[in-house]
Amino acid sequence: MSRIQSIEPYSMTKADPPDVEITNPDHIKILEAALADAYKTELQATETWGLEVVKTLFLLNSVGLTGVFALVATDHVMRPDLPFLQFSLGIVLAVISMTLGRYVHLTAQEGWWKSLEQFRIEAKLSLLKLSNLKIVNILQIFCVLCAYASGLLCIWAGVRLYLLF
């Protein structure tokens, strides 16, 4: 296997590739296929993101809020002691995280597509990177922060409920 066959599109953590023009048609086809695979991977991630991890946070916060409403119906607990706000904010942050997660992958997918289109024109190694990496990284940071905040709010609210009894 030649050195060029082992090259994959650069991920978000690798350094920028060198700005070298590729002239061998076989190498161009291999690298074009690698870019197309990166695009397809992001497309698949776009479809599945909101259906996995963050929906669990949404469900946990929703169940917690349902429990709080059930406790309100009883006379055993004072309303100010119940964690309405924590569960409600947890739900909102889970929804924001789901939305941002989708936009992370959608933006990355669009970036890989632009890189693929540009690579087809210029065929340079420097194009084997995500063209809009900064935007993707910013969206990803906010997505993760919202997911962690949602999880922490769920835990905090759950502990508050536990301590009431």
Classify residue 18: in a domain, yes or no.
Answer: no
Of 94, 88, 91, 87, nearest to 161 by C-alpha is 87
- Would 19 be classed as within a structural domain? no
Q: Measured between alpha carbons, how far is 64 from 58 in angstroms, rounded to an integer?
A: 10
What does the angle CA 58 – CA 152 – CA 71 come to, to the nearest 5 degrees?
A: 65
Residue 12 lies in a domain: no
What global pTM score does this model have? 0.61
- Does 34 reside within a domain? yes
Distance CA 27, CA 89 (A): 51
The CA distance from 162 to 156, in Å, is 10
Give the mean pLDDT of 63-83: 81
| Spatial distance between the Cα atoms of 88 and 91, rounded to a whole number of angstroms | 5
Q: Give the chain's domain count.
A: 1
In a domain, 10, yes or no: no
Q: What angle do CA 90, 96, 115 make, to 5 degrees?
A: 145
- pLDDT tens for 79-122 read 777 888 888 898 898 888 888 888 888 888 888 888 778 877 77
Residue 30 maps to a domain: yes
State pLDDT tens for residues 110-149. Answer: 888 887 788 777 777 666 677 788 888 888 889 888 888 9
Residue 53 lies in a domain: yes
Report yes or no on 97 lying in a domain.
yes
Range of the domain at 87: 24-164
